[in-house]
Amino acid sequence: MLPYDDRDGFIWMDGEMRPWREAKMHTLTHGMHYGGCVFEGLRAYDGKIFKLREHTERLIQSAKLICIKTPFSVEQIEQATIDTVKANDLTDCYIRPFVWRGSKIMGLAADQSDVHVAIAAWYWPSYLKPKEGDVEGVSLKTSTWRRMDPRSFPLQSKAAGIYAVGTMAKEEATAAGFDDALMLDLNGNVAEASAANLFAVYNGVIKTPKPDCFLNGITRQTVLGLAKKLDIPTQETTITPEELVKADEIFLTGTAAEIVAARQIDNHKIQATGPITKQLQDAYQALVRS
């Protein structure tokens, strides 16, 4: 796999399209040292970017929530996103816009910092793939790490710093031979995976944790909307780990992951890609390519 700093193509950065290898920042960048960075993940299907406006608005809102004023408008970033996909001659791809504080100042007081925006796009298949070849569904290991208290950070900001705990949870799970982590909240109830929202199916009813300690994903919201159109009842509710393993089906959602079934929670086996999961996968693919 090619490293991400040594590829052909173009990255839009601060208003201009730059050769991929030249889109760089200084080592003393505020966003890298103090977590002053937010990002988005989008996908294009057949050359059309799915929910571009929703993702772009969330990018700017995420920055605002951690006190960063984005120097470009929604419309400017939307056009730059479209231009980046075209410049790289892509049709089906993953897109990563991000906003960060630059290297003008160092220290926690960041009100005078410079702010930068960049957008990259590349081909990237579904983020969550089972490690065991053609096996359907992913395996999840309950992490020793927990999702944080919503009073400690604006958790509806897609901020880079939040993903540090997800990285630790993911590495803990893969080191134990699992595909991803199952993360609990501070009370020990089910939250989500390391970077994907979670749904469980019980007797034809879809249940999902309330997004109070994790990001309310755009794909999550899309799936809830699809379920409503398909007359599949849904509930946003508390799910305990003991209840989760009794589910008929479990699946994860996210822009990078799309919709992927879970086949195992710790030592408990789950039916992989059950009928409701498959119905939603088909409906989602029809929607994103419509």
pLDDT tens for 81-120 read 999 999 999 999 999 999 999 999 999 988 899 999 999 9
Q: Provide the sign of the torsion angle of the four alpha carbons 120, 124, 128, 132, taken in this order.
A: negative
Residue 129 has pLDDT above 80, yes or no: no
Q: What pLDDT is attached to residue 173?
A: 97
Whole-structure pTM value: 0.94
Residue 161 has pLDDT above 70, yes or no: yes
Please compute, for residue 45, the number of CA atoms within 13 A of its CA located in the half-sphere on the CB side. 14
Query: Average pLDDT, stretch 52-71?
Result: 98
Residue 127 has pLDDT above 80, yes or no: no
Query: Average pLDDT, stretch 9-15?
Result: 98
Instruction: Share the mean pLDDT of the chain.
Output: 95
Q: d(Cα 198, Cα 212) in Å, to the nearest integer?
A: 13
Q: What pLDDT is attached to residue 225?
A: 98
Q: What pLDDT is attached to residue 131?
A: 62
Q: Which of 164, 88, 168, 177 is nearest to 131 (CA)?
A: 177
274-275-281-283 Cα dihedral, nearest 10 degrees: -170
21-23-27-30 Cα dihedral, nearest 10 degrees: -160
Q: Which of 128, 124, 127, 152 is nearest to 139 (CA)?
A: 128
Which residues, in sequence order, are CB contacts of 237 under 8 Å at separation 6+?
207, 208, 209, 210
Query: Average pLDDT, stretch 48-71?
Result: 98
Is residue 229 classed exposed, middle or buried when 0-12, 13-18 and 19+ CB atoms within 10 A define those classes? exposed
Catalytic residues: 158
Q: d(Cα 103, Cα 113) in Å, to the nearest integer?
A: 7
Q: What pLDDT is attached to residue 271?
A: 86
Query: Average pLDDT, stretch 119-123?
Result: 97
Q: Show the tokens assigned to 158.
A: 């897609």
Q: State the greatest distance between any 2 C-alpha atoms of the chain, in Å, as a whole number.
A: 56
Q: What pLDDT is attached to residue 134?
A: 58
